Amino acid sequence: MLKGFFNIPKAVNEPVKSYLPDSPETVAVHKAYNAMWNEKIDVPLYIGSEEIRTGNTRNMTPPHDHKHIVGTYHLAEKSHVEKAIANALESRTKWANMAWEQRAAIFLKAAELIAGPYRAKINAATMIAQSKTIHQAEIDAACELIDFLRYNVEFMTQIYKDQPSSNSDVWNRVEYRPLEGFVYAITPFNFTAIAANLPASAALMGNVVVWKPSDSQVFSAKVIIDVFKEAGVPDGVINVVFGDPVMITDTILASPDFAGIHYTGSTFVFKELWKKIGENIHTYKTYPRIVGETGGKDFILVHPSSNVKQVVANTIRGAFEFQGQKCSAASRAYFPTSLWPAIKEEMGKELATIKQGSPQNFSNFVTAVIHEGSFDKLAKYIDQAKADADAEVIFGGNYDKSVGYFIEPTVILTTNPKYTTMETELFGPVLTVYIYEDKDWADVLKLVDSTSEYALTGAVFSQDRYAIEEATIALQNSAGNFYINDKPTGAVVGMQPFGGARASGTNDKAGSAQNLLRWVSPRTIKETFVTPTDYRYPFLG
Ligand code: NAD
């Protein structure tokens, strides 16, 4: 029973550690990496209070050394998915009725566990599982995840505080109930923070969850599960299943108690999910919430007034950090003819300094792409660009999967602004460049807006305020996160709420109150203190 209007600790962004040589954080992360590299873990399904080992297992291998096995995980059968749903529903009443400050305490504790005792471990796991450099792991698995947890607690209290007006004789209240049923969280490989946030944000608002992580992220998902357990997430609140995504999804979407989906991943899969939910709509007890953050074809548009060094540094970071596998990564760039010779020279010079290899070696800026399917797809597009008359590989273009799935940072120059790699999401370290005539600035704005089906992130570079204003207006529907003189990646929770529209998602802005509102179903309560006893109004005479 609540006996106070409690204040929560003010949410602050977790500072990004620098990992200088021999610093305590560097020593700690190397130690964790070496231990986890050699340990060989076995990850069960987590259903209710049980850890289930089905015996049907798959190996976990780091993308930068795919013959090395760091562990196995167990695959669910249909009966396990049904059991996960049943456990979630059994846990629902108790969890939904738990006072908000208890839920807040659990997730604030999870944030502090990651900031402290689990930091090296969750970073090392992300370096091993997803081949992130230490900096990329730190800004994702540690800082962004901590920020999600802290800010979501703050946003939850803001939502709860949002109450209607009342009169002296009528008291109006709004209660932010969790959804009636369970939430299904499906998460992508590329961010450990997203993997944790999709189930956690729904659970924070009082929902029970079935979570299906990506097959390529199970190794770091295991650390999230350990943190949630230690923080005190009760059994049955977040149930975790691995395995065939179609079987798991079909089983879940057939349940009458399915109340919402929290998805991040590719656009095609999300559209299929939406279709299946529509086909099952007569099955459900409630209209399900559908929240999905999906693909991107993110742009960098450079005005002739731009500073070349700034353009090149931010294009390299935006396109090639984490091997271009951020949904926000720049993958098409528009440079003006007047600046192109200088940009090309500077880019060539800088790209020549980039080192590629295992994330264990901190001097590597680029590592491996996530799996063989991704490697083969990227190699195919690079080969096609080498062969096509309207495209030319001007930097990079080499690839090698003998040890890890290494694709060299690659720049394709095209004379065709609608060339396939200007339109299609490749999800790798491949940037396609189109050079426009300076006088065609207004036309290039229309081109940027109309070239792809996506609208996730985009950046404009210019020192001319009129040009910035023109681009901001002309590209208002081209990106949900629009950057001025900055790279299009690296959104920070509480600072730049993240999400896109068009084919990039429902734009419910992860890391904002708007997202949390999707996981509640408000109930309005009107209480009258002196209730009328006569139906007649004065006007009746
Ligand atoms: P993916 O679509 O391959 O997989 C995402 C999740 O969906 C995984 O858990 C996967 O197992 C599951 N899945 C795959 N097929 C399914 C099916 N038929 N039915 C149900 N579930 C299925 O994506 P990925 O490779 O893990 O991640 C990369 C994609 O995610 C890119 O398209 C990227 O742009 C997008 N992404 C978007 C954002 C954003 O905020 N907009 C953030 C991160 C990633």
Interatomic CA distance for residues 358 and 49, integer angstroms: 37
Q: Is the pLDDT of residue 1 over 70?
A: no
Residues 336-355: tens digit of each pLDDT: 999 999 999 999 999 999 99
Of 214, 276, 496, the one to substitute when testing ligand 1's pocket (max ligand atoms within 8 A of C-beta) is 214
Give the start-end residues of each E strand in 165-274: 170-178, 182-186, 208-212, 238-240, 258-264
User: Is 293 a catalytic site residue?
Assistant: yes
Looking at the CA of residue 374, tell me the nearest atom of ligand 1.
25
Residues 237-287: tens digit of each pLDDT: 999 999 999 999 999 999 999 999 999 999 999 999 999 999 999 999 999
* CA of 469 relative to ligand 1 center, distance in Å: 34
**Are the C-beta atoms of 165 and 525 separated by less than 8 Å?**
no
Residues 470-501: tens digit of each pLDDT: 999 999 999 999 999 999 999 999 999 999 99
* CA of 59 relative to ligand 1 center, distance in Å: 20
Q: Is the pLDDT of residue 31 over 80?
A: yes
| pLDDT number for residue 2 | 75
Residues 411-440: tens digit of each pLDDT: 999 999 999 999 999 999 999 999 999 999
Give the start-end residues of each E strand in 438-519: 454-455, 457-461, 481-484, 501-502
| Cβ burial 201-222 (10 Å sphere, 16+ → b, else e) | bbbbbbbbbbbbbbbbbbbbbb
| Cβ burial 298-334 (10 Å sphere, 16+ → b, else e) | bbbbbbbbbebeebbebbbbbbbbbbbbbbbbbbbbb
Residue nearest to atom 8 of ligand 1 (CA): 214
Of 126, 264, 268, the one to substitute when testing ligand 1's pocket (max ligand atoms within 8 A of C-beta) is 264
Q: How many CA atoms lie within 13 A of 261 on its CB side?
A: 29
List all residues whose CB is within 6 A of at least one atom of ligand 1: 186-191, 194, 212, 214-215, 245-246, 249, 264-266, 269, 272, 293-296, 327, 425, 427, 456, 498, 500, 504-505
State residue 479 phi and psi, 5-degree precision: -155, 140
Tell me, what amino acid is at 179? L
Residue nearest to atom 12 of ligand 1 (CA): 245
Catalytic residue among 14, 154, 293, 425: 293
Q: Which residue has the tokens 């669910």?
A: 76
State residue 529 phi and psi, 5-degree precision: -85, -40
Looking at the CA of residue 249, tell me the nearest atom of ligand 1.
20
* CA of 189 relative to ligand 1 center, distance in Å: 7
Q: Residue 15: is it exposed, middle or buried by C-beta count within 10 angstroms (0-12/13-18/19+)?
A: exposed
Q: Is the pLDDT of residue 502 over 80?
A: yes
Of 140, 325, 327, the one to substitute when testing ligand 1's pocket (max ligand atoms within 8 A of C-beta) is 327
Give the chain's domains with CATH numbers. 31-294+505-525 (3.40.605.10), 298-484 (3.40.309.10)
Residue nearest to atom 19 of ligand 1 (CA): 246
Average pLDDT, the chain: 98
Q: Name the token pair of 12.
A: 């602050």
Residue nearest to atom 11 of ligand 1 (CA): 214
Averaged pLDDT for residues 447-457:
98
Interatomic CA distance for residues 113 and 225, integer angstroms: 12
Of 190, 191, 370, 502, the one to substitute when testing ligand 1's pocket (max ligand atoms within 8 A of C-beta) is 190
Closest residue by Cα to residue 146 from 224, 240, 234, 236: 224
Statement: the pTM of the whole predicted model exceeds 0.85: yes
Q: Name the token pair of 62.
A: 């780091």
* CA of 283 relative to ligand 1 center, distance in Å: 25
Residues 41-79: tens digit of each pLDDT: 999 999 999 999 999 999 999 999 999 999 999 999 999
Interatomic CA distance for residues 448 and 427, integer angstroms: 19
Q: Is the pLDDT of residue 226 over 70?
A: yes
* CA of 362 relative to ligand 1 center, distance in Å: 28
DSSP 538: G
Residue nearest to atom 18 of ligand 1 (CA): 246
Residue nearest to atom 40 of ligand 1 (CA): 293
Residue nearest to atom 30 of ligand 1 (CA): 265
Strand partners, 60: 71
Three-point CA angle 92, 289, 291, nearest 5° = 115
Give the percent of the chain with pLDDT over 90: 99
* CA of 188 relative to ligand 1 center, distance in Å: 5
Looking at the CA of residue 186, tell me the nearest atom of ligand 1.
9
Looking at the CA of residue 293, tell me the nearest atom of ligand 1.
41
Closest residue by Cα to residue 295 from 449, 456, 491: 456
